[in-house]
Amino acid sequence: VICDKDESGGRALEQELPGAVFILCDVTQEDDVKTLVSETIRRFGRLDCVVNNAGHHPPPQRPEETSAQGFRQLLELNLLGTYTLTKLALPYLRKSQGNVINISSLVGAIGQAQAVPYVATKGAVTAMTKALALDESPYGVRVNCHWAAWASPLRSGLRQCSWPPKPTSARALNCS
């Protein structure tokens, strides 16, 4: 099952992927998410996995240029959308001992310039994932987080760092 608020894009993907089912859904609208879950159960009789992939990374913006309303809207999409779908899917995931995969971002842990709201929402997704994993483990539901990232010289250099830092790896990136 694929969901999106972009109906034309969702329908195109449904045609492209054999066996895919598209359901129109804006994850910031709880009624849409309820329909998504109930329609999935109606069609398939069970729910084994939820991938919370809806999100948005706004263009670079300094904190003083970001409105509180813009921050709230990003929280609604990146954090509360993930929470709402997970919450509504949990009764079915507990029955199937299923999985939740939350797409977060490496920047939620390491930061990013001119992206305070985005970094905050993705850091919160990571923290929520950890808490959900603890809450759901007694039910056999696995909750994991994937940190999306892009390649850059800094991120490539971070892979060379070990923990605890060794003097030879710390010289280039000051990992100590």
CA distance 135 to 18: 35
What is the SS3 assignment for 90-111? HHHHHHHCCEEEEEEECHHHHC
Residue type, 94: R
Residue type, 69: Q
Q: Which two tokens stand for residue 16?
A: 């492209």
CA distance 134 to 143: 9
Is 148 strand, coil or helix? strand
CA distance 120 to 78: 10
Whether residue 118 lies in the annotated active site? yes
Sign of CA dihedral 39, 50, 126, 110: negative
Helix axes 30-44, 81-96, angle to 10 degrees: 20
Residues with catalytic function: 118
